[in-house]
Amino acid sequence: MEDNLESVMRNLGIAARQAAVVLAKAPPQQKNDALATASAALLESKAAILEANEKDMQAAVDKGLPDAMLDRLKLDDQRISAMARSLDEIKELVDPIGQVIGQWDRPNGLRIQRVRVPLGVIGIIYESRPNVTVDAGALCLKAGNAVILRGGSESFHSSRKIHACLVVALKEVGLPLGAIQMVPTTNRMAVGYMLRDMSSYIDVIVPRGGKSLIARVQQDARIPVMGHLEGLCHVYVDRAADLEMAKAITLNAKLRRTGICGAAETLLVDRDCANTHLAPIVTELLDAGCEVRGDVATQQVDQRVKLATTEDWSTEYLDSIISVKLVGGVKGAIEHIARYGSSHTESIVTEDAAAAEAFLNEIDSAILLHNASTQFADGGEFGMGAEIGIATGKLHARGPVGVEQLTSFKYVVRGNGQIRS
């Protein structure tokens, strides 16, 4: 069985490497035709996908998985249509491969160009959402990369049917089937094998999932990782904040969608405006059905507020829960975020330009906003098209990982006989 797994995985690796060579040279039209064909195939296969999803859902219910996970796993007519639309949108993105992203001449006559190229082979390890199969597969294809997908075992049947639509499309346009492969087993040892033993086949691992998955990947990987950490995002309401704006931004940042990584988890309020701003914002959160866990001062605002523990400042709820704390101005906010944040996304609400600049400059997070909701932390909202997620590492990609972030570059140097003196 183990021998068999190894040979299965190695074959995936070999096929991916071979496909990557073809994909690097594939014309934009051919890749786009594949995306269009896959989109149509998804719509045509709705019944089969829903049937497979029903099987996954049944097993998940039997296993007693929590509702949030069931919701992520569940497919319906609309969600499948959304996946097909996503493919159409990725098709419309500018093809990044071959773009000259820098060019200069040297005094000796050499002309240097930086030219965008694919990364090669990408391994994506994700959890229960079946739609990642489509987005990750399509973005990698657009960027000229071969991809090996390893989805969660809960969504195995759904992902397999979705993957079959992508394979139909590759076949139809004459691209190698090694371009988008799915690990054909739920054996968990496959993940370890990908991380540790496939460094000659896989150029980058992109983990997309919860804390424990990311921790495992960072511990075991012998391959570069493009990390997507949790989003412990903060909204800071400064003494110079417009109250209505602060209310609107906090409510939106927390409650528009609670399950995404750009959702706010902690509200920090300047002690100097606690008298005027704290109660209205907290009351509105409570009235909207949000659980509030506050420090002592916040508790005094409303008896529905629970007392926060230290653990709350470092908890990513991904739920209708928010922690609230008074801080000593922008300096206090910066200190709190340095201590408890996950370097993802933070927002300051203020009319004071100096406070805003301090916040934007001094905090070391991927995305910093002034007078806007943290829920804008999204590749689509940034105008970058679809994304795989928000990278919180500082190497290569930081922030939204879209098609450009899935590329590398090379230097092309043209001369007429130059030698170095």
What residues make contact with its own copies under the rule CB under 8 A? 24-25, 98, 104, 106, 110, 112, 117, 119-120, 199, 203-204, 218-219, 222, 224-226, 242, 245, 248-249, 251-253, 256, 356, 360-362, 364-373, 375-376, 378, 381-383, 393-396, 398-399, 408-420
Whether 117 and 12 have beta carbons less than 8 Å apart is answered as: no
| Smaller CB separation from its own copies, 56 or 265 | 265
Contact at 8 Å (CB) between 420 and 121? no
Task: Please state the closest distance from residue 201 (CB atom) to its own copies, in A.
Answer: 14
Helix locations, 201-328, DSSP H: 211-220, 243-255, 279-287, 296-299
CB of 162 or CB of 269, closer to its own copies: 269
Residue 303 Cβ, how far from its own copies at the closest point, in Å? 28
Nearer residue to its own copies within complex by CB, 53 or 373:
373
CB-based burial, 282-316: b 16+ in 10 Å, e otherwise: bbebbeeebebbbbeebbebbeebeebeeebbebb
To its own copies, the closest distance from the beta carbon of 217 in angstroms equals: 11
Is residue 210 a contact partner of residue 261, using CB atoms and an 8 Å limit? no
Are 265 and 322 a contacting pair, CB within 8 Å?
yes
Ramachandran bin of 31, using left for φ above 0, alpha for ψ from -120 to 50, beta for the remaining angles: alpha
Q: How far is the CB of 43 from its own copies (least distance, A)?
A: 26
- For residues 211 and 322, the answer to whether their CB atoms sit within 8 Å is no
CB 152 within 8 A of CB 176: no
41 with 169: CB under 8 angstroms?
Answer: yes
Integer CA distances (angstroms), 176 to 19, 35, 181, 245, in order: 6, 14, 10, 52
CB of 166 to its own copies, least distance (A): 24
Fill in the DSSP letter of residue 277.
I
Min dist CB 54 to its own copies, Å, is 32
Q: Which of 167, 112, 101, 105 lies closest to 134 in space, CA to CA?
A: 167
> Minimal distance in Å, beta carbon 355 to its own copies?
13
Q: Residue with structure tokens 């506050």?
A: 294
| CB closer to its own copies, 122 vs 166 | 122
CA 205 to chain centre: 13
d(C-alpha 134, C-alpha 32), whole Å: 14
| Closer of 55 and 394 to its own copies (Cβ) | 394
Looking at the Cβ atoms of 169 and 221, the one nearer to its own copies is 221
Nearest distance from C-beta of residue 252 to its own copies, angstroms: 4
- Looking at beta carbons only, is 151 or 227 nearer to its own copies? 227
Nearer Cβ to its own copies (84/119): 119
Q: Which two tokens stand for residue 405?
A: 């972030």
The CA distance from 318 to 258, in Å, is 5
Q: Which amino acid does the sequence have at 309?
A: T
CB of 377 to its own copies, least distance (A): 9
With left for phi above 0 and alpha for psi between -120 and 50, is residue 399 left, alpha or beta?
left
User: What is the closest distance, in whole angstroms, from the C-beta atom of residue 382 to its own copies in the complex?
Assistant: 6
**For its own copies, which is the closer residue by CB, 98 or 210?**
98
User: What element of type H or E holds 102?
Assistant: strand 100-105
Between 21 and 48, whose beta carbon lies closer to its own copies? Answer: 21
The CA-based dihedral angle spanning residues 56, 60, 66, 71, taken in that order and rounded to the nearest 10 degrees: 20
Q: Please, which residue, 168 or 248, has the CB nearer to its own copies?
A: 248
| Least separation in angstroms between CB 163 and its own copies | 26
